[in-house]
Structure 1
Amino acid sequence: MNQGLFPVRVDPLKCLEQNADFSGSIAVSKLERLQGFLQDDSGEAQVEIHFGHDEQGIALLSGQCQAQVHMTCQRCMNPVAVELKHDFEVAIVVSDEKAKHLPKQYEPIICEGDSLELLPVIEDELILSLPMFAYHHECDDNELKAKEELAPVETEAPSNPFSVLEQLKK
């Protein structure tokens, strides 16, 4: 298994022939689409992948990715550490037509040519593992009250839409 810095690009045909394994780390700062969901770009994702075939001879890329990232708590709006961990298995195909004939359990990755970009694949899997709502299990009540006090709700008496008619009567 190749360890260390994770490869950015590989030749999928060679990797499939060799049943190649790779493991390493990717800086979260290199995953731009993932950063849109995060409070900062600190941390690293640990990744392990394996190229191989299933019983039907379908080319597969399988693996696991995990990272600790900081998202915004939806209760108190402060940073909250979130542990991401995701196992994945995707099929490598050369065209949309081949992707249509895959068994339902496989998500396709279309690889045209002799180069496969791995960072977008890993980034997609990390995005899929994000929670819908990030929050502390116990937010500080004083902090929540302070935020409520900072933004008082101004209640204005609703205007009567018929007040104009009243003036016309006079």
Structure 2
Amino acid sequence: MNAFVIDAFEFSRHREQREGDVVIADLPRLAAESVNMPASLHWSLHGGTDGLGHPQLIMSVSGSIHLMCQRCMTPLKLDIASESVLILAKNDEHADEIDALLADDTIDVIVGSKTLNVSDLIEDEALLAIPLAPKHDVCPDNAAVESAMSARKPSPFDVLKGMKQ
């Protein structure tokens, strides 16, 4: 995906909407987490205003990504379906004011710009949707893990206990 840049404030003011698909390989930070480069994510971006008149963007990202299971080190398919409300502020101080006014953890306040890279928003949304340590609920090859656990050496204390008797 080539860099898709918008004027965030104008996009919101005109209530514009865009959507598309992006190949994970085109998102370098997300591609580094993934084990399948050919996959893609669907995204949509809607501009508007919140109930207090602040410009906002609603970013949705969905699709599947394969990550490495941190328990068994085999691929793990993770479905992503994420949506974020992003209130736009003019600068950091304004963002802090809006954040304090809203006092809502489900809404993120970001500093908007005339050159907002939508690819970065898509990648950020996907990265926030994946767990820090992805794991299968039940690993597909549990037999290898179980045999490694059962093949443990006997405790030296158990050996000494046996000698004592």
TM-score by length of 2: 0.77
Letter in 2 for 1:52: G
Letter in 2 for 1:72: M
**Percent of aligned pairs sharing the same letter:** 20
Q: Whole-Å Cα distance in 2 between the matches of residues 17 and 111 of structure 1?
A: 12
Tell me by how many angstroms 1:125 deviates: 1.2
Which 5+ residue runs of structure 1 have no aligned equivalent? 158-170
| Runs (5+) with no aligned partner, structure 2 | 157-165
**Paired AA for residue 120 in structure 1:** D
> Do structure 1's residue 100 and structure 2's residue 103 form an aligned pair?
no
After the TM superposition, which of the residue ranges 21-30 and 100-109 deviates more from structure 2?
100-109
Q: 1:104 to 1:6 in 2, by over 3 A?
A: farther
Within 1, Cα distance between the matches of 2:34 and 2:82?
17
Which secondary structure does the structure 1 equivalent of 2:33 belong to?
Answer: coil
In the TM superposition, 1:23-102 aligns within 5 A as 23-102=19-98
Give the drift of 1:6.
Answer: 8.8
Task: Tell me by how many angstroms 1:120 deviates.
Answer: 1.2
Q: CA deviation at 1:142?
A: 3.2
- Taking only aligned residues, the RMSD between alpha carbons, in angstroms, comes to 2.5
Which of 9, 22, 32 pairs up with 2:5?
A: 9
Q: CA deviation at 1:7?
A: 7.0
Paired residues in the alignment total 148
8 Å CA contact retained: 2:84, 2:108: no
Residues 1:141 and 2:142 aligned together = yes
- AA in 2 matched with 1:129: A
Distance 1:140 1:95 in 2: 51
1:40, distance to aligned residue in structure 2 (A): 3.6
Aligned-partner Cα distance in 2 for 1:153–1:144: 11
Counterpart CA distance in 2 for 1:140 and 1:25 is 33
| Larger Rg, first or second structure (1 or 2) | 1
Task: Detail structure 1 runs of 4+ shifted over 4 Å in the superposition.
Answer: 152-155
